[in-house]
Amino acid sequence: MKTLGQIYGQFGVRGLFRGSLGAVIRVMVGSSSQLTSFTIFKSYFKKHKIFSTNEDSIINTFAASMIGGVFIAIFMAPFDTISTRLYNQGVDKQGRGLLYNSYMDCVRKTFKQEGVQGLYKGILPCYLRIGPHTVLSLMFWDMLRGLQTKYSKPEAMSSF
């Protein structure tokens, strides 16, 4: 709480939300790429019986969630890079960034100085962090969804 008070005292409410725009964009892109790719690949694996003849195979879920992890890393890495640069830059007495004036200024400068490769710095650590999280989250979600579907049927309720 002491740190929050110091930030508020020095930069006001605006200082408490510094970098939030980048975080919102990052999470929006990450979540949409993760869930879309997972759903598409899981449906494809089920339809074409790629890994199993059982439509609800856990292998289908595992493979689709692994691919979802790759997609989220590919789509989210540039936003991670930009957010990290914005978070780590120094600020002046008014709380303005010393290196970048805005989110788009950071994107422009990074692209101009380093090209596309600059936006993808850290993609491997991004995948190593988000890949296992994606697999575990989507595996558990899919299992819980299956249980909910199984036990929400009227005939299943009579067994309680």
pLDDT in tens, 37-66: 999 999 999 888 887 666 668 899 999 999
18: pLDDT strictly greater than 90: no
Q: What angle is formed at CA 122 by the lines to CA 119 and CA 124, rounded to 5 degrees?
A: 125
Mean pLDDT of the chain: 88
Percent of the chain with pLDDT over 90: 50
Contact assessment for residue 50 and residue 31, using Cβ atoms and an 8 Å cutoff? no
State the Cα–Cα distance between residues 107 and 58, nearest whole angstrom: 40
Q: What is the DSSP string of 51-99?
A: S-SSTT-HHHHHHHHHHHHHHHHHHHHHHHHHHHHHHHS-B-TTS-BSS
- For residue 94, what are the contacts with CB-CB under 8 A and spacing of at least 6? 11
Q: What are the structural domain ranges in the chain? A: 19-146
Rounded distance between C-alpha atoms, residue 143 and residue 106, angstroms? 41
pLDDT digits (tens, 9 = 90+) for 122-157: 899 999 999 999 999 999 999 998 888 888 876 655
pLDDT in tens, 74-128: 999 999 999 889 888 888 888 788 999 988 999 999 999 999 999 999 899 999 9
The pLDDT of residue 158: 55
Joined together, the tokens standing for residue 42 give 């899981």
